[in-house]
Structure 1
């Protein structure tokens, strides 16, 4: 009996060691992911399992395009995660866990009904700090709203939106999201809106969306890049192209790179990839 337990313990220890080595190798690959071409990236992504959402997020964060005229921290589209991990339900579940654990935040985007962006919480807080330093206001006390927003709103309200009433009125156990940090006036809420940290819903003006500051021009690039890439492939004879050739093309109407848009359109079901004798092919599934 003891021998069996000892053997089982040694086996378990060996498995854990192999996993640590594998994780170390994989992390090393992520650290050097910028040196990979797109075929190598696709191969790496296919090795991910349904439990690798955080790994995929880290990898895509490392590959976020370097933008010259826009100061924004890296974000990942949920559709891009779907391009790497096929179990979408599991991805959604793991995003919820990571959101509750305050590892990241999920934002609703205006580029499409089902479009969501994912940003690591640390990056989001840095983004708020960067924007708040550039806000012009004559009232020194107004700047306190940014620290108050980070400490009490972000950490308490984990969903993509917040009601106007929640910003002022007392809620459960006489503790409101914002009054926990002091009284906030309408002018200070307007300061958050002007900074691009909150945006009003068009359908219900009493609801605010949490937003990523400075993302406006990038959202335009996402929409235009999608149209441009699909239009280009649709004009080809079989609506397909070798990935190795496609990755060399530059989009005219988007500052985001080809890899960013390919992941997005593959994950949303507009494009598919398949292996041919000469390499990976990208094909249009639907316009």
Structure 2
């Protein structure tokens, strides 16, 4: 079974408590079908299983992430999801990112996965023998550890980085060019935290959504059996069908219905 990241002693206790109450039959690997792992009673359990089921993406080095919409598809009470996500964020078990998709999309990534993603960026820059990499240590130690929200103001960012050393304008450019920060369009003095290397995946996310909906809209009743749908391969997205189905169900574009032969997924009526 894949090792799941833990980021604090409090987080470890929470995870142990969760594992004690988790059904022993749950196996966090790719063998679970979507129908077998569609709904959960706990947000952390859903996050752990979706992390384990994150598709392997060729040519793109990105750690597993989960969309908030996917959690909404899996945990019936959305208020519970938001409350438990907030708790996990404050406990520094996960980080939440606003995605640049043109929609109100948010990604959740386990903190250890996010730190590993940053390490890969730094290692790549080291191999290219690019200097001034000390800013990444300041960023990890002073910014990420204390600023838990999805965005940060210019002055606060500068102040926190200054705890590590003398900050120059070039340091901020390094963080932006490395894909760790992006300026907000509405307020250029505010930055969004970004998952490095996620850009091409987000393009596939948008294209995959359109492809899945188009596939169902071509069906006579705009529906298919979930088990059959899950087996189909997508042409325009590096993410798999299971990833997209969770997202579209949670965002309300698709609905499921139980039948005598299994779950049916259909396009939601406007």
- Name the TM-score, length of structure 2 as normaliser: 0.89
- Tell me, in whole angstroms, the C-alpha distance in 2 between the residues paired with 1:78 and 1:183: 37
Q: How does 1:6-85 map to 2 (within 5 A)?
A: 23=21, 25-26=23-24, 29-31=26-28, 33-42=29-38, 45=39, 48-49=40-41, 52-85=42-75
Among 170, 173, 178, the residue aligned to 1:190: 173
Query: C-alpha deviations, 1:175-216, integer Å up to 9, x for none?
Result: x32222222111111111111000111222111110000000
Contact 1:132 / 1:143 at 8 angstroms: preserved in 2?
A: yes
Contact 2:255 / 2:266 at 8 angstroms: preserved in 1?
A: yes
What displacement does 1:286 show?
4.5
- Tell me, in whole angstroms, the C-alpha distance in 1 between the residues paired with 2:214 and 2:182: 32
Among 254, 268, 287, the residue aligned to 2:251: 268
Query: C-alpha deviations, 1:77-124, integer Å up to 9, x for none?
Result: 000000000111111111111111111100000114320000000000
Among 189, 200, 209, the residue aligned to 1:217: 200
- Tell me, in whole angstroms, the C-alpha distance in 1 between the residues paired with 2:262 and 2:207: 28
Q: Answer with 1 or 2: which has the greater Rg.
A: 1
The answer to whether 1:282 aligns with 2:254 is no
Structure 1 counterpart SS, 2:256? strand
Root-mean-square deviation (CA, aligned residues, Å) is 1.8
Among 197, 201, 212, the residue aligned to 1:229: 212
- Tell me, in whole angstroms, the C-alpha distance in 2 between the residues paired with 1:184 and 1:89: 41
Contact 2:135 / 2:161 at 8 angstroms: preserved in 1?
A: no
Structure 1 residues 257 and 138: alpha-carbon distance in aligned structure 2, compared to 1, 3 A threshold: closer
Structure 1 residues 153 and 274: alpha-carbon distance in aligned structure 2, compared to 1, 3 A threshold: same
- Tell me, in whole angstroms, the C-alpha distance in 1 between the residues paired with 2:250 and 2:102: 14
What displacement does 1:138 show?
6.0
Runs of 4+ in 1 over 3 A off after TM superposition: 19-22, 136-140
What displacement does 1:132 show?
1.2
- Name the TM-score, length of structure 1 as normaliser: 0.83
- Tell me, in whole angstroms, the C-alpha distance in 1 between the residues paired with 2:236 and 2:194: 23
- Tell me, in whole angstroms, the C-alpha distance in 2 between the residues paired with 1:232 and 1:199: 34
What displacement does 1:166 show?
1.3
Structure 1 unaligned runs (5+)? 1-18, 169-175
Structure 1 residues 188 and 20: alpha-carbon distance in aligned structure 2, compared to 1, 3 A threshold: closer
- Tell me, in whole angstroms, the C-alpha distance in 2 between the residues paired with 1:112 and 1:252: 22
- Tell me, in whole angstroms, the C-alpha distance in 1 between the residues paired with 2:19 and 2:227: 31
Structure 2 counterpart SS, 1:55? helix
What displacement does 1:39 show?
2.0
The answer to whether 1:97 aligns with 2:87 is yes
- Tell me, in whole angstroms, the C-alpha distance in 2 between the residues paired with 1:91 and 1:68: 31
Aligned to 1:126: 116
Structure 2 counterpart SS, 1:37? coil
What displacement does 1:37 show?
2.1
Q: Which has the higher helix share?
A: 1
Alignment: residue pair count: 253
Aligned to 1:111: 101
Structure 1 residues 243 and 135: alpha-carbon distance in aligned structure 2, compared to 1, 3 A threshold: same
Structure 1 residues 68 and 187: alpha-carbon distance in aligned structure 2, compared to 1, 3 A threshold: same
Among 199, 221, 226, the residue aligned to 1:238: 221
Among 232, 243, 247, the residue aligned to 1:249: 232
Contact 2:209 / 2:244 at 8 angstroms: preserved in 1?
A: yes
